[in-house]
Amino acid sequence: MAKRGKKRSARSGAIRRRGIYLLPNLFTTAAMFAGFFAMISAMNGDFRSAGVAVLVAMLLDGVDGRVARLTGTESEFGREYDSLSDLVSFGLAPAMIVYNWGMGVLGEEPWWWWSQLSWLVAFFFAVAAALRLARFNTRMAGADHRYFQGLPSPSAAACVAFCTWLLAGLDLHNAYTLPFVYGLAVVSGALMVSNFSYYSFKDLDITGGRVPFTYVILIPAFFILVALAPSQVLFAGFFAYAFSGPVLALWRRRRRLRRREGDGGQ
């Protein structure tokens, strides 16, 4: 009886541990569902819902890793599954948004070269996201966690999805905005596979330490702005972050040149 009771307790413990490991993967699955819903919305021409779905995927993607660390349920399976989910939500979903945006503008019988350009731009973004994720996975161990190498795929996806969300809300889904959307998708994809450094915000201590009172005021002010004009504020924020990498690289280069000139003058 004692042995049977030990077997039952061990079996229940294993089931309980498996249940805990399911928790972060549920968030990952929900993020993948949001990315899939963004693709379906884009195919139906609903770019507002597609943008909101990408935003939900970003929030869930930020939660699953923290849940795994808090519950001690990090695993190799979870990391691989999270990477596949990111490819769907931040690679394929934005690519489908760009493609359907272009095809919606061009109509049922688009010019041949425009239709070819549409899927080529979308494919370039998807491949860039896959390469960005593969590079991130292979360089996790020795990387400087304060900075990302290349634009993170969620930020690149946000630039594309929130741009089409903003333009659709302003009723600017037309041929005049099409080159801008295509150009933004290409530039965002190129920034993902670039060597530009992007601040990761991982060294910010939000759990301890004192901060100025004005910082506490800025947080609700930001949420108020997002509530009043979500697409405008979100697109402006991620657009600025996307180009912070080249600006930071240019600033560092100028600072090195000034140091060399100063050393040469001495």
CA distance 155 to 194: 14
pLDDT category of residue 10 using cuts at 50, 70 and 90 = very low
Mean pLDDT of 138-159: 84
Q: What percent of the chain has pLDDT over 90?
A: 54
pLDDT category of residue 109 using cuts at 50, 70 and 90 = low
φ and ψ at 141, to 5 degrees?
Answer: -65, -55
Give strand pairing partners of 149.
197
Q: Which of 194, 206, 211 is nearest to 249 (CA)?
A: 194
Mean pLDDT of 176-189: 95
CA distance 47 to 40: 10
Chain mean pLDDT for the chain: 85
CA distance 37 to 41: 6
Mean pLDDT of 177-184: 94
pLDDT category of residue 162 using cuts at 50, 70 and 90 = very high
Q: What is the pLDDT of residue 106?
A: 76
Least confident of 17-26, 84-93, 138-147: 17-26
DSSP string, 194-226: S--EEE--TT---SSS---HHHHHHHHHHHHHH
Tens of pLDDT, residue by residue over 194-209, are 999 998 887 665 555 5
pLDDT for residue 185 is more than 90: yes
pLDDT for residue 87 is more than 70: yes
CA distance 96 to 104: 12
Q: Which two tokens stand for residue 24?
A: 């972060």
Protein fold of 2-265: Four Helix Bundle (Hemerythrin (Met), subunit A) (1.20.120)
Burial bucket for residue 64 (CB in 10 Å: 0-12, 13-18, 19+): buried
φ and ψ at 197, to 5 degrees?
Answer: -95, 135
**What is the H or E stretch that residue 149 is in?**
strand 147-149
Q: What is the pLDDT of residue 74?
A: 82
Q: What is the pLDDT of residue 86?
A: 96
Taking every pair of C-alpha atoms in the chain, what is the biggest distance, in angstroms?
Answer: 87
CA distance 231 to 61: 20
Hey, how many other C-beta atoms are within 10 angstroms of the C-beta on 209? 7
Q: What is the pLDDT of residue 147?
A: 85
39 or 226, which is more confident: 39
Mean pLDDT of 216-238: 89
Domain boundaries, the chain: 2-265
202 or 218, which is more confident: 218
Q: What is the pLDDT of residue 15?
A: 43
Could you report how far apart the first and last alpha carbons of the chain are, in Å? 87
Q: Are 137 and 79 in contact (CB under 8 A)?
A: yes
Q: What is the pLDDT of residue 204?
A: 63
SS3 state of residue 229? coil
Q: What is the pLDDT of residue 92?
A: 97
pLDDT category of residue 111 using cuts at 50, 70 and 90 = low
Q: What is the pLDDT of residue 266?
A: 56
Long-range interactions of 207-213: CB distance < 8 A, separation 24+:
none
67 or 125, which is more confident: 125
